[in-house]
Structure 1
Amino acid sequence: KYSCVSETLTAVAMLSAENIFYRPASSTNNGDNNSSTKAAADAHRRFYSYEGDLPTLVTIYDCWRNEAVYYVASQNHPTRRKMKQPKNSHHGSNTKNSKLTHLEWCKRNYINASSLAR
């Protein structure tokens, strides 16, 4: 009726993951800690929705699917195979349209990588 089955399933799946966001470890000796903490907060703010936690979780997942490429190791071969082919990018090109790998995207956005890969 409301055409929101996909969003509902995404929200339920994201709720089952633990600790989606992470903050850099604090250290009194590290002068760069304040900038890292601020960078993490700024990255997290990108996903926040005034509508609540569920839309925020759906936004995180949607951004990840649109901006990152996730690789899965094949059981038959030790090499990696692509789970999702990137759109608008060529193999090996370093254009602005090419997607980040799963780990690069998670590191850049201070997202727990294991929470999105299952």
Structure 2
Amino acid sequence: MTEDLHKLALKAAEKAHAPYSDFPVGAAIRTTDGRTFAGCNVENAAYPEGWCAETSAIAHMVMDGGGKIAEVAVLGLKADLCTPCGGCRQRLAEFGTAGTRVHLCNREGLVETVTLGELLPKGFDMGKTP
């Protein structure tokens, strides 16, 4: 993971709207063609109608024409380690592969790198090209 993904995820987390959980999260995606996108969690009083940081980052990627996810960095501002939730694991699988690198970070930087296949074994259509 390069430092730029961590910085993008950190800046995104600082913009999170998390008044209910008080758990700001940021995510940053790098596509296989090198573009980067970031997102934060945005909560809503009508839980669970908010969206996760990974979802926001994916939406930015789709709005820019889509692509395949090569790697993603995820961090929670108040966590030593933050992993994508189950729904976001499947969302990442929609645009990634079992080999997509998922960098689990905290404020200071990288804590651990795993593959999407390790986080979501047997995900729906993982790795298939639409």
TM range (shorter): under 0.3
Decide which structure has the larger Cα Rg and report it.
Answer: 1
- Relative to the length of structure 2, the TM-score reads 0.25
| The structure with more helix, counted as a fraction of residues | 1
| The structure with more strand, counted as a fraction of residues | 2
- Relative to the length of structure 1, the TM-score reads 0.27
